[in-house]
Amino acid sequence: MKKPILYMAPIQGITNCVYRNAYSLLFDGYDFAVTPFIRSCAVTSNTCTALQDVFPQSNDTRFGLIPQILSNTPSDFISMAKALFGLGYKTVNLNLGCPIKQIRNKRRGAGMLPFPDEIMRMLNTIIPAIPNQLSIKVRLGSENNREFIDLVPLLNDLPLKEIIIHPRIGRQMYEGEVDLTAFAEILSLSKHAIIYSGDIDSPATFKLLVSRFPDIRGWMIGRGGITNPFLPEQIKKLRGGTAQDKLNRFINFHDEIFNAYQKTLSKPVFITNKMKELWKYWAKTFAGGDKLFKAISRTRSVDKYLVLVKEYFDSKPEMSKVKA
């Protein structure tokens, strides 16, 4: 099997610069990360705070970074892409997949997919106007799984860097099955490099997908990689280590993230909220992690949080998900 190209998926609220930097310090395996979406606005300078998650001074990773923009307004997208180019980003990604109802209702994210003319108008306007290469991230549709497929032949004539596909429809949010039949149809129709995104949660799932789609350009890992941060290393067969080594690495990862939030967030409750978001996933990393999650959920105190987590790590919990 050739060496896979792995992308860290954008997960709003989680895979921000704090997470990415800590990840890159302690784990291997990702080649690229696409950032959580930045809402487009008219940007007059590349110091605009909307771009703070991608400021070069806040990002120190060993993988490439692709900023993602959520937009249905070509002029805003263009000004933001240009500012990002000024910050060194040679590729930007357009979000055509966000399933949140309020966003879809405004014809943004997956909400643009039922309007192919609008998408083509937008792409034909922005592509010649931006200095960056354009990558797009899509779903199969907003309401049905034919919306994007019908667009694929039209996209073949455009110079896209890649198409990242999460084969669900917007209405599904993140539930239900991924539609691999529709995905296969897109693969057969598209001339572009395709990146697959959806439900890769173990080396075994990854292997199955590779055997079904051997010619894919790359693979994106989201929730499965948060629950098991060792997953990209396991897929690429990098590093090893005993269970204790792995637990120590995980604890260091936790501490890096916690310390970064403690430095940057102004109120204790903001810090505990951020850590709770992560523990929604990490609770599944460990055998019996839900008990800790429940206890953490009840506290707004940073000191109490730290005591709970220290006690838990001192009990040397088994990382059951990591073994899978």
Ligand X SMILES: Cc1cc2nc3c(=O)[nH]c(=O)nc-3n(C[C@H](O)[C@H](O)[C@H](O)COP(=O)(O)O)c2cc1C
Q: If binding is defined by CB under 6 A, does position 32 make contact with ligand X? A: no
Bridge partners, residue 95, by sequence: 137
The DSSP 8-state label assigned to residue 113 in this structure reads T
Angle at 187 between CA 181 and CA 193, to 5 degrees: 145
Shortest Å, Cβ 226 to ligand X: 8
Q: CA-to-CA distance for 207 and 4, rounded, in angstroms?
A: 11
Helix (H, G, I), strand (E, B) or coil at 48: coil
Q: If binding is defined by CB under 6 A, does position 111 make contact with ligand X? A: no
Q: Determine the interface stretch with ligand X among 144-152, 194-202, 203-211, 230-238 (rule: CB under 6 A).
A: 194-202
Among 83, 92, 113, 221, binds ligand X (CB under 6 A): 221
Q: If binding is defined by CB under 6 A, does position 67 make contact with ligand X? A: no
Among 4, 5, 11, 125, binds ligand X (CB under 6 A): 11
Q: CA-to-CA distance for 78 and 237, rounded, in angstroms?
A: 40
Instruction: Identify the sign of the CA torsion 26, 27, 30, 36.
Output: negative
Q: If binding is defined by CB under 6 A, does position 170 make contact with ligand X? A: no
Q: If binding is defined by CB under 6 A, does position 141 make contact with ligand X? A: no
Residues 224-263 as x/- pattern, contact with ligand X by CB under 6 A: x---------------------------------------
List the interface residues with ligand X, window 78-97 (CB under 6 A). Answer: 95, 97
Q: Determine the interface stretch with ligand X among 191-199, 208-216, 293-301, 302-310 (rule: CB under 6 A).
A: 191-199
Q: If binding is defined by CB under 6 A, does position 166 make contact with ligand X? A: yes
Q: Determine the interface stretch with ligand X among 4-12, 115-123, 144-152, 296-304 (rule: CB under 6 A).
A: 4-12
Shortest Cβ contact with ligand X: which residue? 222
Spatial CB neighbours of 136, under 8 Å, sequence gap ≥ 6: 93, 94, 96, 160, 162, 163, 164
| Closer by beta carbon to ligand X, 65 or else 221 | 221
Q: If binding is defined by CB under 6 A, does position 58 make contact with ligand X? A: no
| Closer by beta carbon to ligand X, 164 or else 296 | 164
91-96 vs 133-141, strand pairing mode: parallel
One-letter amino acid of 210 = V
Among 222, 229, 232, 289, binds ligand X (CB under 6 A): 222
Among 192, 223, 274, 284, binds ligand X (CB under 6 A): 223
Q: Determine the interface stretch with ligand X among 50-58, 216-224, 260-268, 316-324 (rule: CB under 6 A).
A: 216-224
**Would you list the DSSP string of 174-241?**
T-S---HHHHHHHHHH--S-EEEES---SHHHHHHHHHH-TT-SEEEE-HHHHH-TTHHHHHHT----
Q: CA-to-CA distance for 241 and 292, rounded, in angstroms?
A: 25
Q: If binding is defined by CB under 6 A, does position 199 make contact with ligand X? A: yes
Shortest Å, Cβ 309 to ligand X: 22
**Would you list the DSSP string of 118-151?**
HHHHHHHHHHHH-SSEEEEEEEEESSSTTTTGGG
Q: CA-to-CA distance for 7 and 15, rounded, in angstroms?
A: 12
| Closer by beta carbon to ligand X, 100 or else 158 | 100
Shortest Å, Cβ 289 to ligand X: 18
The DSSP 8-state label assigned to residue 111 in this structure reads G
Q: If binding is defined by CB under 6 A, does position 198 make contact with ligand X? A: yes
Q: Determine the interface stretch with ligand X among 6-14, 80-88, 293-301, 312-320 (rule: CB under 6 A).
A: 6-14
Spatial CB neighbours of 228, under 8 Å, sequence gap ≥ 6: 201, 202, 234, 285, 321, 322, 324
**Residues in touch with ligand X (CB under 6 A):** 9-12, 36-37, 68, 95, 97, 137, 166, 174, 197-200, 221-224
